[in-house]
Structure formats: C-alpha cells, structure tokens
Amino acid sequence: MASQRISMPATPVSAQEKRAHGLVLGSIVLSLLMLAGAGIWYIAITGIIGRKDWDFMTYGLGPAVLGIVGGVLLIVSILCYFLVPSVRHWSKPVARDLWKDRYRYSLILPGLIVVFIFSYMPMYGIVLGFKEYKIKSGIMFSQWVGTYHFERFFKSPVAGQTIWNTFFIGVTQLVITFPVPIILALLMNELRSTGYRRTVQTIIYLPHFISWVIMYSLLFSLFSITSGLVNKLLMSLGRPAINLLSDPNKFYGLLYGTSIWKEAGWGTIIYMAAIAGVDQEMYEAAYLDGANRWQQCFHITLPSIAFSITTMLILNVGSVMGANFDQIMNLRTAATQTTVAQVIDTYVYDMGVGKGQYDLSTAIGLFQQVVNCVLLFISNYVVKRMSGEGFF
C-alpha cells in the first residue's frame, strides 16, 4: 500500500496570544526607537564622532542634522507609545489620567518647564569631565579625552586626603547633628505653654536665616586671637586665648557646633509638624492605661513620626559626600584649608574657579554625585529592610 501522509490540523492561534505577541513586538520596536533617538541625539549634542581635530566650519552641519534626526525619533517613539495598538494597553491609563487631570497638569507645567530648563538642560555640561576643555572650542567641540581627568584626580597626592576628609566630615556630622532636631522637637512637644513653645521654636530657628558669611563674622568677633571678645575676656582674667578658628585640631568641633547652632532649630519644624498630626486620643488612652510621659514619647510619638525620620535620614545619607560647601568655605583658614578643611567641594572650587581647570573640576564633581546617588539607594534599601518604610 502506498504510504499516505497524515497531515495534522494546525493549532489556531488565539486572539490573546496574538495580542501578547503584538505587545512584545511593539515594546521591542518602541524601545529600539527610543534608544536610537536618544543615542543619536546624545552623539549629536556631545560632538563625539571619532574625530579629535574637530572644526565647526567643516563639521558643524553634522551634529545639527543628527540632533534633528534624534529629536524626531524621540518624538515618534512618544507618539507610538500612545497611538500604536499593541502598546495601548500600557499607554491608555496614562492618557486617561493626563486627560482627567489636565487642568492640574497645566498648572504644574510652568514649573516642570522651569525645572527642565534650569536643572536638566545644564546636565549636558557633565560631558566636560570627559573632554579637554578649550574656551575657544567650547564644550561641544573640545577634544574628547575619555576618563583622563578621573585618572588624573585619583592619581594626585591630594585625592586620598580629600576624599577621606569629605567622607569623615559627612558621616560624623550625620551622627552628631541628625538626632539633635528630633530631640529638640520631642522636648518642645512636652512644653505645656503653647506661647512659650512657639517663642522657643522661633528663637532656635532664627539662626537658619543668617548666612555663613555673617556667621563667620560673628565667630571672628568672638574668638579672634587679637580682637575677639571672648579671648579678650579670657586674657583679662589671666587665662590663655583660645585659637578656635585656626587650630586644625579644633576645626571639626567648630563644624559640628556651628551646624547645630545654625540648623538644628530649622530641622525641628519638620518633626513638629509630624508630631502635630499624631492622634491625641492615643495619648489619652495611654494615660488611662498608666503610661507616663516617657513611655508615651517612645511608644506613640516616635513611631508616629518614624516615616519623617527615615525620610530625612535617607536624604542626609545621600548627601554624605556632599559636605556643606558654604560652611567649610567660610570657616576654613590658611592653616586648615589644605589639611582638615580640604573636601571635594572646596577642591572643585579651587581647581575650577581658582585655577580655571573646568574639565577636571567637572569630573571630580561628577564622581561625587555618583557616590551620593549610590549612597542614597543603599540607605533607602537598608532602611526599608529594617523598618519597612523607605523614601521610594
């Protein structure tokens, strides 16, 4: 008998599978469009086309054309996100929300435009850290040198000391100064007189409005070796003068003391606002159960403001490598500026503004912000795992 070929009926593809395949395909195409547009636009803006002998008159049209092509691809990818049927499943809730709250979004639109212009567009300047900047060539057309400036900084003899000073000051200031506003808020919450509490709060947060320049002038008037009021009083009593401003061994204490003096009262506003939102019935119930003021503070007040505390802690940890530039810049002297007072921010200022090495200072600043960003995510992860509450 002749062999017969038995044909199996083809399995029909369901509508759900077709939709899933179309969704995957549309997502891939949309992602490729966005990546292509962003990549071309980045290449155009930075002027990185593999040529070091860049000349605007010869190659100036290329970046403009690439920029237009990249911008068009970005716009097309955004339109595809809202119009292509295969990805409408994702974009439909977004479009519905935008249309539903269109008036609210129109109100915040000017603020978003301002943030984009003054906060995001200047980020283009970070490419300066990867170029050998020439004022005549500008940022776009300066020679691309890769990671040369990063290597130059890390190999310099001052890099280790500068990074260590920044990290040490950031960590110790966080440990010493962070709990102070919380303690002050808890203590002021225990004051019975509302008028007295408001008066105390006003007095302790007024120093926040004094600039660090004026703050240093006050310190100089009090602790100057030659003309300081405190040192004159000590010497009149036969006591030795205190070299508070120029002694490297006293510099850290000066930082912590002035930070608490200037900013602790201002920080209590956030915690006082959080405490004001605590349900008073919980205090009444705890009082009826026999809890004293300390027990109410530890078991009601602190847990109620835990989210505010964790949020502020995460933000402060995220800025550990960004020591207070205004404070250190004004408090450092000739005896301390090259030793204990030399942090990344002041070094960037010295190299960029002082010596005009904008490319090197940009590279150092970029390194600093990357470290801060990593610390922010790590601190948020750790705090969220420990307390269950995080910033994001």
What pLDDT, in 10s, does the model give residues 345-386? Answer: 999 998 988 888 999 999 999 899 888 888 888 888 888 887
Q: Residue 32's closest CA among 85, 95, 87?
A: 87
87 and 162 within one domain: no
Residue 256 confidence class, pLDDT cut points 50, 70, 90: very high
H/E stretch holding 144: strand 143-144
Last residue of a domain, one of 93, 109, 135: 93
Q: Is the pLDDT of residue 323 over 70?
A: no
pLDDT of residue 298: 87
Residue 143 has φ and ψ, to the nearest 5°, of -70, 135
Residue 38 confidence class, pLDDT cut points 50, 70, 90: low
Residues 6+ apart with CB under 8 A from 329: 212, 345, 346, 349
Q: Is the pLDDT of residue 22 over 60?
A: no
CA distance 159 to 46: 28
Q: Residue 174's closest CA among 309, 272, 298, 304?
A: 309
Q: Tell me the percentage of the chain whose pLDDT exceeds 70.
A: 78
H/E stretch holding 172: helix 159-177
pLDDT of residue 51: 47
Residue 144 has φ and ψ, to the nearest 5°, of -80, 125
Q: Residue 46's closest CA among 68, 63, 70?
A: 63
Asked, for residue 152, whether it belongs to a domain, the answer is no
pLDDT of residue 62: 58
Asked, for residue 323, whether it belongs to a domain, the answer is yes
180 and 298 within one domain: yes
DSSP state of 6: P
Q: Is the pLDDT of residue 100 over 80?
A: yes
CA dihedral 279, 282, 285, 286 (to 10 degrees): -140
User: Rounded to 5 degrees, what angle do the CA atoms 117, 123, 126 make?
Assistant: 155
In this structure, the strands spanning 143-144 and 131-132 are antiparallel
pLDDT of residue 176: 92
Q: What is the pLDDT of residues 150-208, one digit of tens each?
A: 999 999 998 999 999 999 999 999 999 999 999 999 988 888 888 888 888 888 888 99
* Mean pLDDT for all residues in the chain: 80
Q: Tell me the percentage of the chain whose pLDDT exceeds 90.
A: 15
Q: Residue 318's closest CA among 272, 377, 269, 367?
A: 377
CA dihedral 74, 79, 80, 82 (to 10 degrees): 130
Residues 6+ apart with CB under 8 A from 176: 256, 260
Token output for 121: 């567009």
371 and 243 within one domain: yes
Last residue of a domain, one of 45, 66, 93: 93
Q: Is the pLDDT of residue 9 over 60?
A: no
Q: Which residue, chain included where needed, has tokens 């930082």? A: 255
Residue 87 confidence class, pLDDT cut points 50, 70, 90: low
Q: Which residue, chain included where needed, has tokens 């929300």? A: 97
Q: Residue 311's closest CA among 369, 266, 368, 267?
A: 267
From residue 174, alpha-carbon distances to 125, 233, 314 in Å are: 30, 34, 11
Higher pLDDT, 10 or 37: 37
**Number of folded domains that form the chain:** 2
Range of the domain at 249: 157-387
Higher pLDDT, 383 or 300: 300
The CATH number assigned to the domain holding 375 equals 1.10.3720.10
pLDDT of residue 32: 65
